Chain A
Amino acid sequence: MDILKFLTAGSVDDGKSTLIGRLLYDSESILADQLEALHRSNRKNDDGSIDLAILTDGLKAEREQGITIDVAYKYFQTDKRKFIIADTPGHIQYTRNMVTGASNANLAIILIDARKGVIEQTIRHSYLVSLLGIQQVVVCINKMDMVEYSEATYETIVNDYKALAYKVGLKNIKYIPVSALKGDNIVYPSSHMKWYEGESLLAFLENVELAVDDSKAHARFPVQWVVRPQTEELHDYRGYAGRVSSGSFKVNDKVTVLPSGFHSTIEKIELLDKEPTEAFAGMSVTIHLKDEIDISRGDVLVNTEYQPEISQLIEADLCWMDTRALDTSHTYFIQHNSKTTRCRIQEILYKVNINTLEKEFNEDFKLNDIGRIIIKTAEPLAFDPYQSNKANGGAIIIDSRTNVTVGALMLRGVAE
């Protein structure tokens, strides 16, 4: 059994919380005491049924405002898969939350209100899903009950969306007509939409095979920690602890340590009392090399044959996440895997209006702005382009004054 992490994008009015609530409720993932709390609550739908949205609205402040204000994680499982839902809000001022949720998702559910069709926020959500490199999209056309379960309405929206998907570069899209409120096609197939012959949302989530396999990308192993017991019996023990971020490493593989450029060979791979001969993407292990090389946290072991880019001047897409605007004269920190170094945004090439997808050329870069920049780092970074290797292409910017994470970077390549 594996884990599928997915993101839900949509606004309060699209019934996103209701959709998640319905998914949990109908798949019997709600326990008795939680159900009791649900029934105790005096929030009800117009027809008197329980409001399933309560299940995902977490904090007091939100309950008072009646909106979701952050990323909330929900867990459920079926016989086939474990699921982690990142529930992110759809308001414009919370782009940063959606980017956050999307950074860890393999699949995105984009909700469209059948009465409204493809609107500005659909463009925004789809653009962000594409920018963050999510490989599989499910477009749920919701509130079908409000449009008399009309196939024609559904088809129109699907066609509109296809044009948008082409524009933002999304592939692998599944369309499902649903009513989260009434439960149509969420867990159970709908009796109101016989014209739809595809899977329900849950069935699709259970069965979908993701197109990208991180273990087939080039091998990268960022070193997090050096294990050196320095005891009498383990005097010469020196293991490099980390998690394979992509690709796979085998014993006897030739590796290069970056940024220093030293070469060596893998002698042994360890995980406590086990000695696997191979470690692939996602595995946390300790690697031993045949040669004694000075390696510390922040270095990365890579397959010698397929090396990443190394540069101090990098072109990247940036999402700004702080209320204080980007300051091109300020020195920030950049954190990329286990490496942290100082950096400056050298140039803003352009910003993207995420509602119209048009480029904009003005100097300020504020909260929730997205655009392309050139970043200069104090030390060289060994990275891969984000769109070909998410694990080695994402980085964050930290404000050295507040220590807060203020930007998300999708690295693209060495700046010309």
Chain B
Amino acid sequence: MKLDYLDELEAEAIYILREVAGQFEKPALLFSGGKDSITLVRLAEKAFRPGKFPFPLVHIDTGHNFTETIEYRDKMIKRIGEKLIIGHVQDSIDEGKVVEQKGKNASRNALQTITLLDTIAKYGFDACIGGARRDEEKARAKERIFSVRDEFGQWDPKRQRPELWNIFNGKIHKGENVRVFPISNWTELDVWNYIRREKIELPSIYFAHEREVITRNGQLMAASPFLNMDDEDIVEKRNVRFRTVGDMTCTAAVESYACQIDDIIDEISESKISERGARMDDKVSEAAMEDRKKGGYF
């Protein structure tokens, strides 16, 4: 007997979540409000119900959110009855730990690394579960499922532990922590197919809607008070949807009329742009992601 691919991916992710519960003292699940972390919540329900999650959810809030995401988050927390901890990037700015970027392409995306590391230190988390996938980007293709970070949150590609069979070594020294990626082996399409199969509700911005956007560097950005705009920026209404949900200033939309999940799956199956292609922050240089990872970003 062989499992269907979605069942196999699901079983593997549940297994990884239970390993986190079994091996760590103070784990946390990093929740961004995006479809990947929403999928993780569903998987955690499968892993631990009818018990409580053995970890809180942690949201690193840049303050530049889509309102739809925050509404979704609060509603979901109410439904699942689990604890939510919020780390505010604004607090890091107010405390002078980070300085807001200037200029037209200013974004808080890079700043959230500091807030994340501070939140990890404040609560003493020894494992942070995240929804990153290896198919997203080349540097992530080499990422372990249990990825050890030093006390500065740094990732050293040469120091990663070999991962054999399904045995995950979660032993760490004080001050270190582990990032855990239960859906490492999923592709974007797998996540969508799973969401459809499980009938998981998503924030509405994933579906096509009319929105005011501006075109910048060839990409459609949601017009918002958080985006530094000048006279050259022309605001226009377009039918769009978002493929990832992040900080409003660096998450680009794609033109789309896909209102139903079936339409989205069709679109992605035929799509010619990878998901991270819609993230402006990765475009800066080919090694952008790797540099950010070394600094403690996901």
A-to-B contact residues, CB < 8 Å: 1-3, 31-34, 37, 56-61, 63, 69-75, 77, 82, 84, 96-97, 99-100, 103-104, 213, 215, 224-225, 227-229, 234, 237, 241-243, 248, 271-272, 280-284, 297, 321, 333, 335-338, 390-391, 394-396, 398, 403-405, 408
Smallest distance from the beta carbon of A49 to chain B beta carbons, Å? 20
Smallest distance from the beta carbon of A95 to chain B beta carbons, Å? 11
Q: How many A-B residue pairs have CB under 8 A?
A: 169
Smallest distance from the beta carbon of A351 to chain B beta carbons, Å? 19
The reply on B204 being an interface residue by CB < 8 A is no
Assuming the contacts A32-B273, A227-B50, A284-B15, asked whether A60 and B287 have C-beta atoms less than 8 A apart, the reply is yes
Q: Name the contact of B18 in the complex, choosing from A224, A228, A321 (C-beta under 8 A).
A: A224
The reply on B134 being an interface residue by CB < 8 A is yes
Q: Name the contact of A75 in the complex, choosing from B135, B139, B157, B160 (C-beta under 8 A).
A: B135
Bound form: Cα–Cα A333–B165 in Å: 17
Q: Top 7 nearest A-B pairs by Cβ distance? A: A32-B272, A33-B277, A284-B14, A403-B171, A224-B18, A284-B11, A103-B164
Chain A interface SS verdict (over half): mixed
Residues of B within 8 A of A72 (CB): 138, 141-142
Bound form: Cα–Cα A215–B2 in Å: 8
Residues of A within 8 A of B97 (CB): none
- CB distance B142 to A398 under 8 Å? no
Smallest distance from the beta carbon of B179 to chain A beta carbons, Å? 16
Q: Name the contact of B169 in the complex, choosing from A1, A391, A398 (C-beta under 8 A).
A: A398
- CB distance B2 to A2 under 8 Å? yes
B-to-A contact residues, CB < 8 Å: 1-5, 7-12, 14-15, 18-19, 21-22, 45-52, 54, 134-135, 138-139, 141-142, 157-158, 160-167, 169, 171-173, 184-185, 187, 189-190, 271-274, 277, 286-287, 290-291
Bound form: Cα–Cα A337–B161 in Å: 17
Residues of A within 8 A of B185 (CB): 73, 75, 84
- CB distance B274 to A396 under 8 Å? no
- CB distance A59 to B142 under 8 Å? yes
- CB distance A391 to B165 under 8 Å? yes
Assuming the contacts A58-B138, A58-B141, asked whether A398 and B171 have C-beta atoms less than 8 A apart, the reply is yes
> Which residue of chain A has its CB nearest to the CB of B275?
A31
Assuming the contacts A282-B11, A394-B167, A403-B173, asked whether A408 and B18 have C-beta atoms less than 8 A apart, the reply is no
> Which residue of chain A has its CB nearest to the CB of B294?
A60
Residues of B within 8 A of A395 (CB): 167
Residues of A within 8 A of B14 (CB): 243, 284
- CB distance A2 to B171 under 8 Å? no
Smallest distance from the beta carbon of A56 to chain B beta carbons, Å? 8
Residues of B within 8 A of A97 (CB): 162
Residues of B within 8 A of A75 (CB): 134-135, 185, 187
